[in-house]
Amino acid sequence: MRRATSGVLRFWIVPVTLVVWELLTRATESPYFPPPSRIATQFYDMWLSGPASQLLLTDSALDTFGPSLGRLIAGWLIAGVLGIALGVALGRIRGLSEYTDPVLQFLRALPPPLLVPIFFVLFKIGTPTQLAVIVFGVIWPVLVNTTDGVRAVDKGFLETARVFQFSRYDILRRVILPSAMPKIFAGLRLSLSLALILMVVSELVGSNSGIGYSLLYAQQTYDYAGVWAHIVLLGVLGLLFNALFLVAEGRVLSWHANARRNV
C-alpha cells in the first residue's frame, strides 16, 4: 500500500513541480527565471532540432557536447585506471601507505578547481588542462575505495589461493580484484558524478569549447533561458551517466547482489 502511494507520488512530483514552476515564473516575470516552457523551447532550438541522421542533434550540439563528453569519459577512465592501480599498490604493499599517507591526504585536500592555474602553466589552455583537472579531482574516491577493498579480502579466500598455490598474478586478478570490485565500483560511480562537475568547472575557467564554455557564453550574452537550458542539460547528462553506470555495474557485479540476497 505504501509502495503504491510512493509510486504515484513519484510519478506526479515531476509534472506538479513543472506546473508550479511555470506558474510562479510567469507571475513574477523575472528575466533571470524564465518559465520552463521557454527553457524547453530554447533547449530544443539549440540542440534537438537537427536532422534524423544525427539523432536529431544539431551541429551546435555535436560541437558543444563532443569535446566535453570526450574529456569527461577520458578523464574518468584515466582516473579509474590510475586509481585502481595505485589503490591496489597501497592496499597490498605492506608499509607503503604509511609512507605515502601524509602526501596523499595533502593532495586530496586541495580543491581541484584551484589547481587550474597551475595546470595552465604546465599544459597551456585546452584539453590537457581540463583532463588534468578531472583526473586529479576524481581519482580519490577510486583510490580510497580500492585500497579499502583490496585490504578487506576475506582471509579464507586468500588461504585457499595459498594452499592451491595460485600465481601472484592469479591471486590479484582472480581473487583480490573481484573481491574488491563492489567497493571499486562504488568509487567509480562517485567519480563519474564528480567528473561531470569538474568537466564544467574546468571549461568555465580555461577553455574555448564545450558545455561549460557555451554556458559561460550564454550568460555573457544575457541569454538566461540558454543558461537554464545548460543546467537542465547537465542534470540530464548526470541522470544518463548514472543509469548507464548502474547497468554496467549490474552486469559485472551480479554475483555480488545475488550472493548477498541469498545469505
Partner 1 sequence: MLELVDLSHTYGSYRAIDRVNLKVAQGEVVCIVGPSGCGKSTLLRSIAGLIKPTGGTVLLDGKPVDGSPENLAVVFQDYSRSLYPWMSAVANVGLPLRRRGLDKKRRDAAAMAALEQVGLAGAAAKFPWEMSGGMQQRVSIARALAYQPKLLLMDEPFGSVDAQTREELEDLTLRVCAHHGMTILLITHDVDESVYVGDRVVVLSKAPGTVVGDLPVQLPGPRDQIHTRELDAFVRLRAEVGRLVRGMTPHRNTHGFGVETR
Helix (H) or strand (E) holding 211: helix 210-220
> Which of 10, 261 has the CB closer to partner 1?
261
Which grid cell is 33? Answer: 527565471
In DSSP notation, 56-102 reads T--HHHHHHHHHHHHHHHHHHHHHHHHHHHHHHHHHHSTTHHHHHHH
Task: For the segment 138-157, give every residue that binds partner 1 (CB under 8 A).
Answer: 154-157
Q: Find out whether 35 and 25 touch, Cβ atoms under 8 Å.
A: yes
CB of 171 to partner 1, least distance (A): 11
Size of the site for partner 1 (CB under 8 A): 24
Note whether 163 binds partner 1 by CB under 8 A.
yes
Note whether 250 binds partner 1 by CB under 8 A.
no
The site map against partner 1 for 6-45 (x = CB under 8 A) is: ----------------------------------------
Cβ neighbours of residue 174 under 8 Å, at least 6 residues apart? 166
Given the rule CB under 8 A, which of 34-42, 53-61, 132-140, 169-177 is the region that contacts partner 1?
Answer: 169-177
Would you call 240 helix, strand, or coil by DSSP? Answer: helix
CA 147, 151, 154: angle at the middle one, nearest 5? 145
The site map against partner 1 for 174-193 (x = CB under 8 A) is: xx--xx-x------------
Note whether 168 binds partner 1 by CB under 8 A.
no
Pick from 54, 167, 208, 221: which binds partner 1 (CB under 8 A)? 167
Say which amino acid occupies 236: V
Note whether 248 binds partner 1 by CB under 8 A.
no
> Which of 121, 263 has the CB closer to partner 1?
263
> Which of 17, 167 has the CB closer to partner 1?
167
CA 112, 114, 118: angle at the middle one, nearest 5? 95
- The 8-class DSSP code of residue 164 comes to T
Binding residues vs partner 1 (CB under 8 A):
154-157, 159-160, 162-167, 170, 174-175, 178-179, 181, 255-256, 258-259, 262-263
